[in-house]
Amino acid sequence: MVTDLDVLLVSPVRVVGRLFTLWREADFFSTLFSSFSRIVLGFFAAFLLSGLLALLACRFPVLEILLRPYVVTVRAVPVASFIIIGLIWLTTGSLAVFISFLMVFPILYQNALQGLKSADPKLLEMARLYRVPRLRRLHMLYLPAVKPYLLSACSVALGMSWKAGVAAEVIGMVDGSIGEKLYYAKIYLDTCDLFAWTVVLVLASVIFEKAFLFLLKKLFAGSEKL
Amino acid sequence: MNETISVRGLSKSYGEKRVISSLTLDLPLGAVTALMGPSGCGKTTLAFLLAGLIPPDAGEISGVPEKKAFVFQEDRLAEEFSALSNVRFVLPGRDRKRAAELLARLGLGEELSRPVREFSGGMKRRVALARALAYDADILFLDEPFKGLDEKSREETVRCTLELTKGKTVIFITHDREEAEALGGGVIDLGALLAREQER
């Protein structure tokens, strides 16, 4: 029998109080770092691979056609299905990396490709006439075209990587992760812990998103000065 | 070695509209040739054909030097980047010194680091011209390169262009006879020439 109404909806005061005790617990930072490193690794892997494949698909349109069914499938299939497949294929440690990668890859790839395709054809024609090396074209013609697409895609993908990554940790019961803490909060009906860890998650996700977008914008601004 | 660029029976249409029809002419290498004529008579199309930017429907072009520079009608500059970056973009080794020198000669020495999106039409035109002149091409296509320049900077720009293109092949496109003659080379009235070809 439920004897404490906090199980249904915990008061914000209690959550804040729990947050103050939570961060002082011995495993708080190791738990946070464990989830952070997996999710960020998945995101960065997707970021790099989507950029590379978008470049290749822009150069060789046949690759875009070959990749299209995979991208559409990954976008359409529910994340839970991938998590269960991942549980069979992978170790629990790498599950969050895989899921975080899989969920953000299509978003980043499609936006990067669209951005590359939006590069001004007249400027590209000018660059071909002047025989400008490909790397320089990439820097001055393609990067500015990709910039708005990539910034907006990253903004969506960063949040999604955290949601999907933690969902994988919960289902996979990954040792020493935020997902595991959420799982135990469910088992012990500890709504206060659930809310406190959710706040930690949201904060980590927002801080990482802001920091990453800030660095990305700086990178673009720096490249424009070269 | 060829002394001329040879154009034989050249035709080009855009959809139903025939722009150039059976054009035959020779253009001297190592000299300035002004292609003159009213707007829409096919001057830019001929320059694009000569530069190999578009294929002809029929006819042949031979003797065009390999290393080409083009001042396009729409400037074609990377707007987010500085004037200096835009000129360095086309130079071997991104030669900063040469880019800065050319921009300074065209009166943009104080504006090297400013993004070209902040420039006026005339300033952008000079950046596009500086890019073409700095490139050290064997043939330069200048499509109305002095459009939008005020009287003073036009004189300076014409003088600089003449000096830096000495001994090179220049195809200069304009609809202004006075401007065509100012460069001191041959003048081909393309409008009249194409009209004659069509009458035949």
Mean pLDDT across A58-77: 93
Residue A15: predicted pLDDT? 84
| pLDDT band for position A1 (cuts 50, 70, 90) | very low
| pLDDT band for position A191 (cuts 50, 70, 90) | confident
**Pairwise CB contact (< 8 Å): B70 & A141:** no
**pLDDT > 60? residue A4:** no
Q: Find residue B115's DSSP bridge partners.
A: B82
**pLDDT > 70? residue A226:** no
**pLDDT > 90? residue A121:** yes
**CB–CB contacts below 8 A, A to B:** 41
**Pairwise CB contact (< 8 Å): A226 & B85:** yes
Residues of chain A contacting B82 with CB distance shorter than 8 Å: 225
**Pairwise CB contact (< 8 Å): A140 & B81:** yes
Predicted ipTM of the assembly: 0.91
How far apart CA A207 and CA A213 sit, in angstroms, is 10
**pLDDT > 90? residue A26:** no
Residues of chain A contacting B78 with CB distance shorter than 8 Å: 123, 140-141, 144
Q: Where are the beta strands (DSSP E) in chain B?
A: 4-14, 17-28, 32-36, 58-62, 68-71, 139-143, 169-174, 186-189
Residue B125: predicted pLDDT? 95
The letter for the amino acid at A202 is: V
Mean pLDDT across B128-148: 93
Mean pLDDT across A184-205: 90
Interface test with A, best of B49, B86, B89 (most A CBs within 10 A): B89
Mean pLDDT across B147-165: 88
Residue whose token pair is 């009608």: B73
**Pairwise CB contact (< 8 Å): B82 & A225:** yes
Contact B135, B107 (CB under 8 A): no
What percent of chain A has pLDDT above 90? Answer: 70
**Pairwise CB contact (< 8 Å): A126 & B69:** no
What percent of chain A has pLDDT above 70? Answer: 96
The SS3 assignment for B4 reads strand
Please list the alpha-helical segments (H only) found in A77-190.
79-89, 92-117, 121-129, 134-137, 143-172, 178-187
**pLDDT > 70? residue A2:** no
Q: Across the interface, which of B69, B70, B80 has its CB nearest the CB of A144?
A: B80
Q: Across the interface, which of A132, A225, A226 has its CB nearest the CB of B90?
A: A132
Residue A61: predicted pLDDT? 94
How far apart CA B169 and CA B2 sit, in angstroms, is 13
Contact A103, A39 (CB under 8 A): no
Q: Across the interface, which of B51, B85, B94 has its CB nearest the CB of A129?
A: B51
- Which residue in B has a C-alpha nearest to residue A225's C-alpha? B81
**Sign of the torsion angle spanned by Cα atoms A129, A132, A138, A141:** negative
Interface test with A, best of B80, B91, B127 (most A CBs within 10 A): B80
Provide CB contacts within 8 A for A3, sequence distance 6+: none
Residue A32: predicted pLDDT? 93
Per-residue pLDDT of A81-103, as tens digits, reads: 999 999 899 988 899 999 999 99
Contact B42, B196 (CB under 8 A): no
How far apart CA B70 and CA B185 sit, in angstroms, is 18
Mean pLDDT across B74-101: 93
Q: Going from the N-terminus, what domains does chain A have, and what CATH number goes with each?
A: 5-225 (1.10.3720.10)
Q: How many CB atoms lie within 10 A of CB A156?
A: 14
Candidates B9, B32, B33; CA nearest to B164 is B32
Range with the largest mean pLDDT of A113-122, B174-183, B187-196: A113-122
Which range is least confidently modeled, A13-22, A209-218, B161-170, B175-184?
B175-184
**Pairwise CB contact (< 8 Å): A122 & B76:** yes
| pLDDT band for position B59 (cuts 50, 70, 90) | very high
Candidates B143, B130, B139, B122; CA nearest to B45 is B143
Residue B53: predicted pLDDT? 95
Residues of chain A contacting B64 with CB distance shorter than 8 Å: none
Residue A132: predicted pLDDT? 95
Q: Work out the angle between the directed axes of helices B151-164 and B121-134 (0-180°, nearest 10).
A: 10
The mean pLDDT of chain A is: 91
